[in-house]
Structure 1
Amino acid sequence: MNSFGIGSVIDGVGRIADDLITTDNERLEIALREKELDTQILSKVHETNIAEAQHRTLFVAGWRPFIGWVSGLALVYTFLIQPIFLWINSIYNLTPTPPPQLNDDMLFNIVLAMLGIAGLRTYEKQKGLTK
């Protein structure tokens, strides 16, 4: 029966299983190391954000507010101005061409990214890390 090398296959599978299966303590250590790395990364991002916000030129310090305002205006256009214009145009037949439509998918990606950053800002304010 051992002529097919079944014993060596079983030993090999056992070694692989030992490498793959971790104890609860090992999982906890891995999770703690990942949390430490996440904290370090967030700390560096926070330092970068502070440095950008304190920069003397509006080009560097104002890019986040600019993106926020542009995204907000794009949302107002997409959900208020364009539908109202289309509705009025359908009633009075003012123009034969419809107004331009924005790329909603890209807009939502940008807005969600900005809201994620805003969520971190709220966390900073709650922890008293801002002025």
Structure 2
Amino acid sequence: MWQLLFPAITPIINKVLDLIPNENERARAREQLEGDLQKAINQAAADQREINKVEAAHSSVFVAGWRPGIGWVCVLGRAWVFFIQPVATWSIHVFNLPVESLPSIQTDYLMELVLAMLGLSVTRTWEKAKGVAR
């Protein structure tokens, strides 16, 4: 999150630092501020990793199972769009069933989620191949 905010707050930081008249003091203050900001970013990432570990180890499926749940939503959504809905539509027309229409899924957001999940799985595979994973 901080990486997203950093470009937005950089102009503000520069304006505040420009108020320091001494060029050496300004450079020192900038270096200190950037170091403190990087420490905060690293600490937030470490805290999130710890939260993820605790959630993954939880015995309740509603806590530990949300990531697999998202995966199953992706699988079911893509199965509906690419297999179940076309076969059902074909069946309705072939057997002249009195069904007006089938529900459709907006696939834009679903595809983004699928690609993000695939990206994470590629990263995990790379970690395992390099021996970094537990």
Give the TM-score band, short-chain normalised: 0.5 to 0.7
Q: CA RMSD in A?
A: 2.8
Seen in structure 2, the aligned counterparts of structure 1 residues 47 and 120 have a Cα distance that, compared at 3 Å, is farther
Amino acid at match of 2:117: M
Amino acid at match of 1:67: I
Amino acid at match of 2:81: T
In 1, distance between residues paired with 2:128 and 2:121? 10
- Matched residue, 2:96: 93
Larger Rg: 1
- Matched residue, 2:62: 59
In 2, distance between residues paired with 1:46 and 1:67? 19
Seen in structure 2, the aligned counterparts of structure 1 residues 119 and 51 have a Cα distance that, compared at 3 Å, is farther
Residues 20-99 of structure 1: matches in 2 within 5 Å? 44=46, 47-99=50-102
Question: 2:131 matched to 1:123?
Answer: no
State the Cα deviation string for residues 41-74 of structure 1 (Å, max 9, x = none).
Answer: 9x74655443332233322211100110111011
Mean Cα displacement is larger for which, 80-89 or 52-61?
52-61
Seen in structure 2, the aligned counterparts of structure 1 residues 68 and 108 have a Cα distance that, compared at 3 Å, is same
Mean Cα displacement is larger for which, 119-128 or 82-91?
119-128
Q: Secondary structure at the match of 2:104?
A: coil
User: Across the two proteins, how many residue pairs are aligned to each other?
Assistant: 96
State the Cα deviation string for residues 66-112 of structure 1 (Å, max 9, x = none).
Answer: 11011101111110000011111122221231110011111111111
Structure 1 residue ranges without an equivalent (≥5)? 1-35
1:106 pairs, out of 105, 109, 119, with 109
Q: After the TM superposition, list the runs of 4 or more consecutive aligned residues in structure 1 that deviate by more than 6 angstroms.
A: none
In 2, distance between residues paired with 1:63 and 1:129? 24
- TM-score normalised to structure 1 length: 0.60
- Matched residue, 2:19: none
Identity percentage over the alignment? Answer: 42
Amino acid at match of 1:126: A
